[in-house]
C-alpha cells in the first residue's frame, strides 16, 4: 500500500510565487526556490510547480527555477504550465523535473497524453484537471485555459479517458474551492478516485487540518495538495503530517 502523500503547490508568474482565489486576483507570496527549500526541510513528499505565465520570459523563468530547485532539493518535482509537446516535456525533465503535468493541451489534443507516456512512461505523466461544480454527472465539469474556458465534459468521463490514454496520475483541482480554505470538493474527488485505478491528488480548498484527512478517508484520494493554507496560516507540512498520522493515515514522517 502506497503512503499518502502531502504535496505543497506553488503557482508561478514572472518567476515569483503567487496565489489567488478561484484562479483570480493573484498576489505575490514569495520566492519559489526559498519556499521549496522550506518545504523540503519540513518533509514534503513532493513539490508541485504550476506556471501560469505563458510568455517567453515566463518559460525562461520556469526553467531557471526548476534547474535551481533540482540542484538544491531532493524531493520529487512535478512541473506544469504551457506544456504542449513531447519536446517541452523533455526540456523540463532534463533540467530536473521528475513528472510533467499537462492540462489544456491534453484536453485539446488527447494524443499528447499517450505520446508523453510512450516516450517517458506513464509514471511521468500527470494530467491536471480543473473543474467547477456542474450538472454533468452531478459532481463536476471540466474547465480549461486557466479557468477561462468552460467545456461540456464531465470530469469523471475525462478522468477515465486520460487513464485509458496512459496518464499515471490525476491532479484534480476545484476552481470553486481554490483559495477559499473551505475544504476540498470531496464528492467530486471521490467520484473521480472511484472511477479510475491511478492515483488522484486532491487540490483546492484545504483550510484546516481535518480537510486533508477527509480528502483521503471520504474522497478516496491518494494524495493531497495545498497552497493557501501554507502561505497564509501558521500551518506547516510538519503539522499536517503529524495530524494525518494521528488520524490513522499512513504518511511518511521525516
> What count of residues does the chain have?
254
Grid-cell match 518559460, residue found? 59
Q: What is the pLDDT of residue 132?
A: 92
Per-residue pLDDT tens for 6-25?
999 999 988 898 887 877 77
The 3-state secondary structure of 35-64, one letter per residue: HHHHHHHCCCCCEEEEECCCCHHHHHHHHH
Interacting residues of 113 by C-beta distance below 8 A, sequence separation 6+: 102, 106, 125, 127, 162, 165, 166, 167
Three cell numbers, residue 198: 491511478
Query: What is the CB-side half-sphere exposure of residue 146 using CA atoms within 13 A?
Result: 18
Confidence of residue 55 (pLDDT cuts 50, 70, 90): low
Does pLDDT of 136 surpass 60? no
Q: How far apart are the first and last CA of the chain?
A: 18
pLDDT given at position 22? 73
Note the pLDDT of residue 212: 98
The DSSP call for residue 182 is: S
pTM confidence score: 0.95
Produce one character per residue of 173-195: b if its CB has 16 or more CB atoms within 10 Å, e if not: bbbbbbbebebbbbebbbbbbeb
Q: Which residue has the cell 472511484?
A: 194
Lowest mean pLDDT among 13-17, 101-105, 163-167, 220-224: 13-17
pLDDT at 53: 77
Query: How confident is residue 56, by pLDDT bands cut at 50, 70 and 90?
Result: low
Close Cβ partners of 162 (under 8 Å, ≥ 6 residues apart): 106, 110, 113, 127, 129, 170
> How far apart are the C-alpha atoms of 14 and 53, rounded to whole Å?
7
Q: Would you say 225 and 78 are in contact if contact means Cβ atoms under 8 Å apart?
A: no
Are 124 and 97 spatial neighbours (Cβ–Cβ below 8 Å)?
A: no
Q: What is the mean pLDDT of the chain?
A: 92
Residues 6+ apart with CB under 8 A from 38: none
Question: 18-27, 32-41, 102-111, 127-136: lowest mean pLDDT where?
Answer: 18-27
Residue 60's pLDDT is what? 83
Model pLDDT for residues 76-94, shown as the tens digit of each residue: 999 998 899 999 999 999 9
Q: To the nearest whole percent, how much of the chain has pLDDT over 90?
A: 76
Q: How confident is the model at residue 247 (pLDDT cuts 50, 70, 90)?
A: very high
Where does residue 229 fall: left (phi above 0), alpha (psi -120 to 50 degrees), or beta otherwise?
alpha
CA–CA–CA angle 5, 7, 12 (5° rounding): 165
Q: Looking up cell 485505478, which residue turns up? A: 197
The fourth-level CATH superfamily of domain 5-246 is Aldolase class I (3.20.20.70)
Q: What pLDDT does residue 57 have?
A: 62
The more confident residue out of 52 and 196 is 196
Cα–Cα distance between 208 and 95 in angstroms, integer? 35
Amino acid at each position: 500500500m502506497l503512503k499518502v502523500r502531502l504535496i505543497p503547490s506553488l503557482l508561478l508568474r514572472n518567476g515569483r510565487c503567487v496565489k489567488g482565489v478561484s484562479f483570480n486576483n493573484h498576489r505575490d507570496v514569495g520566492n519559489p526556490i526559498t519556499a521549496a527549500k522550506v518545504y523540503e526541510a519540513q518533509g514534503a513528499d513532493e513539490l508541485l510547480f504550476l506556471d501560469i505565465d505563458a510568455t517567453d520570459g515566463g518559460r525562461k523563468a520556469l526553467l531557471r527555477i526548476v534547474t535551481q530547485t533540482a540542484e538544491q532539493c531532493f524531493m520529487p518535482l512535478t512541473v506544469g504550465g504551457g506544456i504542449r509537446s513531447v519536446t517541452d516535456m523533455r526540456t523540463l525533465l532534463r533540467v530536473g523535473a521528475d513528472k510533467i503535468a499537462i492540462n489544456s493541451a491534453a484536453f485539446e489534443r488527447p494524443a499528447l497524453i499517450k505520446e508523453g507516456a510512450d516516450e517517458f512512461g506513464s509514471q511521468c505523466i500527470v494530467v491536471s484537471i480543473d473543474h467547477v461544480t456542474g450538472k454533468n454527472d452531478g459532481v463536476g465539469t471540466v474547465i480549461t485555459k486557466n479557468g477561462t474556458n468552460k467545456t461540456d465534459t464531465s470530469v469523471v468521463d475525462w478522468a477515465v479517458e486520460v487513464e485509458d490514454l496512459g496518464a499515471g496520475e490525476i491532479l484534480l483541482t476545484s476552481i470553486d474551492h481554490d483559495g477559499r480554505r473551505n475544504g476540498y470538493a470531496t464528492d467530486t474527488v471521490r467520484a473521480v478516485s472511484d472511477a479510475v485505478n491511478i492515483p488522484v491528488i486532491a487540490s483546492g480548498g484545504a483550510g484546516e487540518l481535518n480537510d486533508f484527512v477527509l480528502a483521503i478517508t471520504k474522497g478516496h484520494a491518494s494524495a493531497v495538495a495545498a497552497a493557501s493554507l501554507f502561505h497564509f496560516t501558521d500551518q506547516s507540512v510538519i503539522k499536517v503530517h503529524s495530524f494525518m498520522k494521528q488520524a490513522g493515515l499512513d504518511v511518511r514522517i521525516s
